[in-house]
Amino acid sequence: MEAFWILLNIVVMLALIGVLVHFHRQKVSFSKRVFLGLGLGILLGAILQWIYGSESEVLATTTDWYSIVGSGYIRLLYMIVIPLIMVSIIQSIINLKASSELGKMSAWIIGILVGTSMIAALVGVGTSVVFDLNADQIEVGQAEEARGQSLEQRLEGLEGMSTPDKILQFIPRNPFQDMTGDRATSTIAVVIFSVFIGVAVLGVRRKTPEQAEVFTKGINAAYAVVMRIVTLVLRLTPFGILALMANTVAHTDFAGILELGKFVLASYVALAVMFVIHLMMISLFGLSPFTFVKKVLPVLGFAFTSRSSAGTIPLNVQAQKSSLGVQEGIANMSASFGATIGQNGCAGIYPAMLAVMIAPTVGVDPLSLDFIISLVLIIGISSFGVAGVGGGATFAALIVLSAMNLPVYLAGLLITVEPLIDMGRTALNVNGAMTSGTITSKITGTLNQETFNNPSAIESETTDI
């Protein structure tokens, strides 16, 4: 009998995919199809949990089949990340008028990412104080204790790694190994390797322009092919979001969310405040925040659903370049760096909130000036080096809490709501990357404001998708 219900659930998913295909044939815009997939996924996941219960075998098997669509889509995105980064950055550097432009735009991108992560830390501190969050208020269960012990074990492998060691992990030793995504810093290592290739071509062009021209033609051809692959994969976005959201909602622990509702609410208030700060930064540079929001929403929708900053890189680059008018090299660098450096949600707000919650349990005043200054500085440094140890928000929290001499096992208290909060954190991380790219392009004078201000740019960009 279970096999019948599983088959029925699969048929329902296929029917919903058919609905999305129908809207695609009707030339409905890409962004509308993305949010339709999001809504249908939420509805389907809620119905599945209501009918079967979150712990049922039928639901577990059903979501395994749904993962072919959802997780399969994310795998395809990862498949194109490295080729996209390599050919785009090399081509962009080849087209630079001077190599000095590369250093300027890199400095602005990294500076904005790390600077906003420090602002995010202050937002996290303020929100925790306003909502009066305290780790003593949270009941510790068996699952939370197990998570806390796991975090302490992970910390043992991090304590011996200094900040210079973490930064050193960015430098590629074997670029071909990094192309496989073998290390947490593989993406940035590939960026650095690609930069070296681009700069080398500029040097060859000055001495033997004929050879540089041959290489340039090859890169341009490779770029055209890679961008076509990107378009083919991005066409699957509404289907991927549908399956990912259905699985997420179907397995969500709503009882745990209610129990830790105060922390969930505080977290999303902090994330919302930081989103507003991003928009204020956009407006300070003479750009419309409303136009920016409209054009980044489809990308943020995927980031929210997938919980993967790295997996969002292709959509991030495409939206910056085609919808926001960001110069291509800046779009690629900001998306790549933003997936691992200065993540406002994972490396800024989250560890700051945990630190403020946990500090009173060991007799530390989280409102003292020394504590806040130390916390913000440590978050700024760790947000740059956290990719050296991998693991996103968890490792950022481990590094910050251990540096502040706070017990890391208490971070395990939030295990039941971690997936829900991580969705919002990932969306904020990606928005921070797009904000840094847009502002950097504006500062360097490479932003195509006609594209940015054109309300139909997002429609024309997604028509082919």
DSSP string, 214-262: HHHHHHHHHHHHHHHHHHHHHTTHHHHHHHHHHHHHHT--HHHHHHTHH
Residue 436's nearest CA partner among 338, 345, 299 is 338
* pLDDT of 40: 93
In SS3 terms, 2-23 reads as HHHHHHHHHHHHHHHHHHHHHH
* pLDDT of 395: 67
What contacts 396, CB < 8 A, 6 or more positions away? Answer: 343, 346, 347, 350, 351, 379, 382, 383, 386
Query: Is the whole model's pTM more than 0.95, yes or no?
Result: no
The yes-or-no verdict on residue 28 having pLDDT over 70 is yes
Please state, as a whole number, how many other Cβ atoms lie within 10 Å of the Cβ of residue 231. 13
The per-residue pLDDT of the chain, averaged, comes to 82
Which of the residue ranges 31-45, 233-247, 322-336, 438-452 has the most confident prediction, judged by mean pLDDT? 438-452
Which domains, ranges and CATH numbers included, belong to the chain? 2-463 (1.10.3860.10)
Question: To which residue do tokens 């392009």 refer?
Answer: 441
Q: How far apart are CA 457 and CA 325, in angstroms?
A: 9
Mean of pLDDT values over 54-79: 88
Span 412-432, pLDDT tens digits: 556 556 777 888 998 999 999
Q: How far apart are CA 426 and CA 434, in angstroms?
A: 13
Span 339-349, pLDDT tens digits: 878 889 888 99
> Confidence class of residue 389 from pLDDT cuts 50, 70 and 90?
very low
Cα-based distances in Å from 416 to 144, 278, 394: 8, 29, 14
* pLDDT of 122: 96
Q: How far apart are CA 26 and CA 68, in angstroms?
A: 26
* pLDDT of 176: 86
> Confidence class of residue 278 from pLDDT cuts 50, 70 and 90?
very high
Assign residue 391 a region: left if phi > 0, alpha if psi is -120 to 50, beta otherwise? left
Q: How far apart are CA 329 and CA 331, in angstroms?
A: 5
The yes-or-no verdict on residue 141 having pLDDT over 50 is no
* pLDDT of 18: 94
What proportion of the chain, given as a percentage, has pLDDT over 70? Answer: 84
What contacts 311, CB < 8 A, 6 or more positions away? Answer: 74, 77, 78, 81
* pLDDT of 186: 76
Q: What is the total residue count of the chain? A: 465
Name the token pair of 198.
Answer: 């681009």
* pLDDT of 104: 84
The dihedral sign for the CA sequence 136, 137, 139, 144: negative
